[in-house]
Amino acid sequence: MPNRARPGRNRILVSGAEQALENFKEEIANELGIPNYTGIDRGELTSRQNGYVGGTMVRKMIQQVETQLAGGQLQPAHLVQQPAPKQPQEQTQVTQQPQAAQPQDTQLL
């Protein structure tokens, strides 16, 4: 299995889940007619093909959780939201420009 860096938000939040996700990805790709998905250069595939694999994975995972929730096997309290990975914040300073004095409308009587 090639060592792929996981930049951005695409990080495995549960240690040990990476291999299971790779196996699931391979299974989904086979269902979609893309053989040996983990062994090929994914840059050779179209964005649409790669997107189908990821989108189908997400759909099936959501379907599985919904089924477990409906069957009482999983409680909503178990679905704890993981904190988002910390992103480095840009060092930008917002300075407020002083507002110019507005001319007053005055009428002479």
Average pLDDT, the chain: 77
Q: Which two tokens stand for residue 24?
A: 């699931």
Overall pTM surpassing 0.95 (yes/no): no
Q: How deeply is 92 buried, as exposed, middle or buried, from its count of CB atoms within 10 A (0-12, 13-18, 19+)?
A: exposed
Q: How many domains does the chain have?
A: 1
For the cut 60, the answer to whether the pLDDT of residue 97 exceeds it is no
Q: Look at residue 24 and tell me whether its pLDDT is greater than 60.
A: yes
Report yes or no on 78 lying in a domain: no
Residue 106 has a pLDDT of 54
Lowest mean pLDDT among 29-43, 53-67, 83-97: 83-97
Residue 107 has pLDDT above 90, yes or no: no
Looking at residue 16, what is its pLDDT?
A: 82
Give the tens place of pLDDT for each residue, 54-85.
Answer: 999 999 999 998 898 888 887 777 677 656 55
Alpha carbon separation from 66 to 28, 82, 106 (Å, rounded): 19, 19, 68
Q: Is 108 inside any structural domain?
A: no
Please give the C-alpha separations between residue 46 and each of 42, 84, 96, in angstroms, as whole numbers: 8, 29, 46
Residue 7 lies in a domain: no
Phi, psi (rounded to 5 degrees) for 7: -75, 165
Residue 98 covered by a domain = no
Return d(Cα 58, Cα 45) in angstroms, integer. 19
Domain range for 33 is: 18-70
Whole-angstrom Cα distance, residue 42 to residue 45?
Answer: 5
Residue 92 has pLDDT above 60, yes or no: no
Residue 92 lies in a domain: no
* Domain annotation covers residue 11: no
